[in-house]
Amino acid sequence: MKGGITIARRKGAKRRAEKRDWADLAEEQAKINLDSFPDQDWSEFEADDDRSEIEKHEKSIDKQLEKLDQAGSKFHWMKEKKYAQMFGQIEHKLTGALGVGKYDWVDRRVFDQVFDQSTLMAIYKLMQQDHIDTIEWPIARGKEAHVFYATSQSGPIAVKIFHTSNAVFKGLMQYIEGDPRFGGLRRRHRELVNVWVQKEHRNLTRMRKHGVRTPESLVTYKNVLVMEYLGDENGPSPRLRDVDVEDPEEVFKSLLEQLRIIWQDAGLAHADFSEYNIMLHQGKTWIIDAGQAVVENHPKSKEFLVRDITRLVQWANRNGVDADLAESTLYVIEE
């Protein structure tokens, strides 16, 4: 939440020295790939190789599985044939996440944290359905999720992957309990994560429908959310927290109006409205991270709304704007 997501401007960071088995495997495969060599005439060697391309590919996968097996029990599931074939189909589309080539970033510990079996299966399905082409490099990381720059057939996208192996979401039940859209929820961790993803998708869609500047939520599956990317090829647009704005009073008025629309028209309280969850994109403010937003009839909606307005007024005051909390609150809540 506040400060929970760190946005990285990126690229070219030096590769970490720690051992990264999946990255090592991808590098080994690249070294034996003829396409990675300078142009040469390899025809004289073709007759000496009586193995089919399929056999070569299977041998490469077997080598990867052997090394994964040595890495620990976490990856033993990859020895099963159907999973090995699955990973063989998508591994070249995950080079950024693997820390290979120009996308150096992910060390073994982070990869283990984000890409568990359930997540890889979800990514595989979304790739098979053409929602995702490649996952390139990370643009934000936090306790609840990591966000990656990715590509699709229609252009750049952002892929937000929520963690499934920690207990962070147990502290977020206050944003779900009392929301009539998600009644009867059992407290099993994985179900809670999947509901949180659906909740963010619905909140973003609802806000955007009523004119709030939010990234478009495109599709979700299990713990993966695919949405519009705010930025360019060099990195994401900055957060409000990370920039000095030229006209803070104008920014304050714009954000206060966004809060009014969220409450009056969309019927929601954002519940985590802060400089950490606002981006400056193409000269305008955009609201992100809407998973915690609640509907008006949620028992804590008014409490969350006042907190949102208070944080905005505090930001304005720190930046030299003479903003009054009472007046700002009346502007947001009065019809």
Choose among 236, 237, 218: nearest CA to 227: 218
Residue that has been written with the tokens 């390899």 in this structure: 42
Q: Is 113 helix (H, G, I), strand (E, B) or coil?
A: helix
Residues forming beta bridges with residue 235, ordered by sequence position: 232
| Cα–Cα separations (whole angstroms), residue 88 to 61, 64, 159 | 7, 10, 21
Neighbours of 302 (CB within 10 A): 13
Q: Which helix (H) or strand (E) is 219 found in, with range?
A: strand 217-221
Considering only CA atoms, which of 6, 34, 39, 13 is closest in space to residue 101?
13
Given a contact cutoff of 8 angstroms between Cβ atoms, the answer to whether 221 and 123 are in contact is: no
Contact 235, 139 (CB under 8 A): yes
The residues assigned a catalytic role are: 272, 289
Give me the DSSP letters along 8-22: -----PPPPSS--HH
CA angle centred on 271, ends 180 and 137, rounded to 5°: 105
DSSP letter, residue 163? -
Query: CB-hemisphere CA count at 13 Å for 103?
Result: 24
Neighbours of 57 (CB within 10 A): 14
Other beta carbons within 10 angstroms of residue 313's beta carbon come to 20
